[in-house]
Structure 1
Amino acid sequence: MQFLLGEMKSMAGIWTFTGRNRILHFTWFAFFLTFVIWFNFAPFATAVKTEMGLSEAQMRTLAICNVALTIPARIIVGMVLDRFGPRITYSCLLIYAALPCFAFAMAQNFEQLVFSRLALSIVGCGFVIGIRMVAEWFPSSEIGLAEGIYGGWGNFGSSAAAFTLPAIATATAFMAAGQINWRFAIALTGIVAACYGVIYFLNVSDTPPGKVYQRPPSSAGMEITSKRDFWFMLLMNIPLVAALGVIAWRLNKVKFITTNTFAIICILLVALYLFQAYNAYKANKPLMTGRKKYEASDRYRFSQVANLNIAYVACFGSELAVVSMLPSFFERGYGLPAALAGAVASTYAFMNIPARPGGGWISDKVGSRKWALVATLVGTGIGYLIFSSLGKGVPLPVVIAATMLASFFVMAAEGATFGIVPLIKSRVTGQIAGNVGAYGNVGAVVYLTIYSLLPQGAESDRTFFNMLGVVALMVAFLNAFFLKESTGSHDEEHAEVDATAMMSAMSDDRYRP
């Protein structure tokens, strides 16, 4: 009974706007705005296609461009935030978001749409920043739930964009000669983000009072604690660069770039990988030359990061891919009208609100973060397979239930993944989160590229969902065998600053309990 009362008290505290919960709410809303911007094109896809005279191949290319530069951006931003802190990093990203929003809103042809969408894809790296911020403020016993709330409520920005932006565009149609004013709606998201960037900077701090923000020895590359893991890290970096090559190949297929340009890009990507490898070696040179050895208590296994990488491919990678094609799937596969198909599709993103915090909470409470992740990945695979088996003639309530079942496990797996990330190695949490998050985008690029090559039709859509289900089950199997139970904790750091925080709270309104 005492345990249950403690849990109820802890959950009730989430709804307050004081102490660490205040930082959580400021931060998840920052992430929410980045997702509104990241997905501000999807609600207007039909309008943009009609106005610009774009082909289906060009539209699918724009969908891939939307996740393209998020891959390197999450790696780079992970390094930046470990060096400068999440407060400055998040504020700068939100202010930057206004520029590509304006560029996309003023685009007059396909080329301008591509360039501005590539620039907008950088905003998708915002997720990584908040992971470090939340980890700094919450103890290990609450980290899964807190990260789940941050990720789930922030991820709902994609659904909020679908609900609110068309209404804004319709209400301001008088400014665009009676046409849907998608340009104003998209520009407005940039203005709001820039204003909130200033608000965020003025209202948060990187750590609680009395806690020192830990920085890695070097921000040139991820800190590794064994020589074998260094080579493993270089191997795992290959897909991050290869995914960019896939995007370039896709741009070549739609004749946005020439074959010669594609070849030059491939050479530059190889050079990028070598440069990244050199920086990683420079960051870990004392270890690689034998001048530094880590004590057992200071080591971490990069295999933990690798397992979480592929887990995020299976859950978040599939979410990004599914969000971009689900409305058309319901139109083709179930014969729903466009408006109803969009409403049903929104139930997929809606599950972010309860499911991702739920996955994090389960990770905190079941006693095994590893098996919480494995179980939710198995549920993801089964959910997708069930979902793909339904078709025309199935009652709409069953369709909605199947959608929500599949999405529940997808988002719960995301929450369980980031219930582990902050506990691997505290001072490189940003870089680890960036690596895992980037792999989610790698998954999205691969999935969307495969989807773009399939012929249009309900059967191809079902094949696509079957693929997502099988991948999730395979990843669950690999994590069951190779992921180690998380033993990391930063409770000692929080215990040390509790007394200081209480004293500071008495003199600072921002942290008053």
Structure 2
Amino acid sequence: MVTMGKKVDQEQSYYSDWAHIDHGVDADGRATELRPLALSRPHTQAFHLAWLSLFACFFAAFAAPPILPALRPALVLAPADASAAAVGSLSAALVGRLAMGPACDLLGPRRASGVASLVCALALALAAVYASSPAGFVALRFCAGLSLSNFVANQHWMSRIFAPSGVGLANAVAAGWANVGSAAAQVVMPLAYDLIVLRLGVPITVAWRVAYLIPCAMLITTGLAVLAFPYDLPSGCAYAGGAKRAKGEGFWNVVRGGVSDYRAWVLALTYGYCYGVELIMENVAADFFRRRFRLPMEAAGAAAACFGVMNTVARPAGGVASDEVGRRFGMRGRLWALWAVQSTGAVLCVLVGRMGATEAPSLAATMAVMVACGAFVQAASGLTFGIVPFVSKRSMGVVSGMTASGGAVGAIVTNRLFFSSSRYTVEEAISFTGLTSLLCTLPVALIYFPRLGGMLCGPSESATVDHDGHDDDDDVNKDDDYMLLK
């Protein structure tokens, strides 16, 4: 215990020492701005480890859809099996993210992230080796979907090592760059499969299993790298295993601090229909382009990748916008920006479905509208996680987990309502998804922070304690309010 206590002191000192030599670090050792090229800073090192680890998770989670034409004969898949497997993947993401929130609060995001990557790599490898039926395919996608729990650890880590003035951008860039892993899978997996079959002569029933060595190797490499990183968080943010937690700050108190906050539930709902829309599109886009425009597997994967690759700039842009309107207009600006951007993305989603339903749709025009839809949907995700860190300081991991899980729930519900039924064509299902997103964005108007305000009214002058009665413990503290508003 003494040894662990010394390690915590070293971690705190490692971050806080930068406050004396780096003007971009506050007194608590948190970075006030994102500097991706300043590789000597511990904050930048943690940032790159976090997004690369999550990149591998997204690659693994979406490795199957682009090679579905090869998987169908190998595993004797019926048309309904692909939808069932997608639900299995999303259900795994939901379960994993709900569990990851408390794990981050109690153990720390670095340890939780690294262990999750290694466990998912092992499970995915076993599923790829033994899958031989539709049930095996569902198991394969379930194991891959579990890796998406790392999204919570990613956002939690960034929210702790970046100050409020830069947390929106840091969260958005880390998640945005990581989300490109889904686009990379759309391009890399078909090419790898063809290389294994055509160049190496591997039988088709074995080739897809060999291709799955790529996501497994990525998960193992990034998981070990995260665990090898010696420092977790800035001073004042130490974790269990040597750190002294506040009295009564046990598991259930941490969980209760998140689930009892209505704002976390509203953010989970709205995130369900920005990131949830993204999950749906990444699952159906390749098949949509193959069927509607008769594209070969590689071309359809490349077309579908255009949606996901927008994460490179769109989600970071949402984070930048959140921080900028926060500085100018406070929390009211952040909330209005989220509502406006997500509503625009929802309208574009409706338009994608309507264009695809025309008698002779234009591939170029459909792709252009889909890319624009992706840009607004992903920017809305960045704007959402520009608000999440202000909900609860003590239960940040739980709130992050609830919000992130909302994305999986939204995708699961939408899949079951519109995409798993023969009542609707894919084009009609996409349009209904957009309409649902438009409706589920309206509750953003209900979010209110006593010291920060909401969409429709300003802060309360009488607010002197946090929303749950804890002085500067669960809501952002007064210095954070000042940094947000100035």
Give TM-score scaled by structure 1 length. Answer: 0.74
Asked whether the 8 Å contact 2:286–2:304 carries over to 1, the reply is yes
| SS of corresponding position for 1:140 | coil
Instruction: Mark the CA change 1:56 to 1:199 in structure 2 (over 3 Å): closer, same or farther.
Output: same
Match of 1:502 in 2: none
The CA distance in 2 between the partners of 1:178 and 1:122, in whole Å, is 26
2:428 counterpart residue number: 463
How many angstroms apart in 2 are the aligned matches of 1:120 and 1:474? Answer: 31
Q: 1:330 aligns with which of 258, 280, 289?
A: 289
* Cα deviation, residue 470, structure 1: 1.3
The amino acid that maps onto 1:182 is W
Aligned to 1:384, what secondary structure does the other structure show? helix
Match of residue 252, structure 2, among 220, 242, 246? 220
2:351 counterpart residue number = 386
Matched with 2:375 is: 408
Superposed displacement of residue 494, structure 1: 13
Inter-partner Cα distance in structure 2 for 1:178 and 1:440: 34
Q: Aligned partner of 1:220: which letter?
A: W
Q: Alpha carbons of 1:453 and 1:110: their partners in 2 closer, same or farther (altered >3 Å)?
A: closer
Partner of residue 309, structure 2: 350
Other-structure match for 1:191: 217
8 Å contact from structure 2 (residues 167, 386) kept in 1: yes
Residues 358-373 of structure 1 correspond to what in structure 2 (within 5 A)? 358-366=317-325, 367=329, 368-373=333-338
Amino acid of the residue matched to residue 321 of structure 2?
Answer: I
Aligned length: 411
Counting only pairs closer than 5 Å after superposition, residues 381-460 of structure 1 correspond to structure 2 as 381-390=346-355, 391-455=358-422, 460=425
Secondary structure of the 1:346 match is: helix
Does 2:36 correspond to 1:69? no
- Asked if the contact 2:272–2:406 (Cα under 8 Å) also holds between the matched residues in 1, the reply is yes
Q: Give the structure-2-normalised TM-score.
A: 0.78
Q: Is the 8 A contact 1:139 1:494 kept in 2?
A: no
CA distance in 1, matches of 2:155, 2:444: 22
Unaligned runs of 5+ in 1: 1-5, 234-301, 496-513
Structure 2 unaligned segments of length 5 or more: list them. 1-23, 25-31, 240-244, 460-474
Cα deviation per residue 1:310-351 (whole Å; 9 max; x = unaligned)? 111111111111111112223444455554333222111111
Deviations 1:271-313 (A, max 9, x none): xxxxxxxxxxxxxxxxxxxxxxxxxxxxxxx121111011111
Structure 1 position 124 matched with structure 2 position 148 = yes
| Residues 1:332 and 1:98: Cα distance change in structure 2 (over 3 Å) | closer
Name the Cα RMSD after superposition.
Answer: 2.7
Segments of 4+ in structure 1 off by > 6 A? none
Counterpart-to-counterpart distance in 2, 1:353 and 1:77:
25
Give the Cα separation in 1 of the matches to 2:360 and 2:106: 56
Question: Cα 1:482–1:83, aligned 2, differ >3 Å: closer, same or farther?
Answer: closer
Would the alpha carbon gap of residues 198 and 378 (structure 1) be closer, same or farther in structure 2, given more than 3 Å must change?
A: same
Amino acid at match of 2:50: T
Contact 1:87 1:204 in 2 (8 A): no
Could you say what secondary structure the match of 1:97 adopts? helix
Distance 1:202 1:93 in 2: 14
Q: Once the two structures are superposed, what CA deviation does each residue of 1:30-62 show, in whole Å capped at 9, x if it has no partner?
A: 110111111121222111111122111122211
Q: CA deviation at 1:166?
A: 2.4
Contact 1:333-1:392 within 8 A present in 2 as well: no
How far the C-alpha of 1:24 sits from its partner, in A, is 0.8
Q: 1:38 to 1:491 in 2, by over 3 A?
A: farther
Distance in 1 separating the partners of 2:384 and 2:64: 28
Letter in 2 for 1:183: R
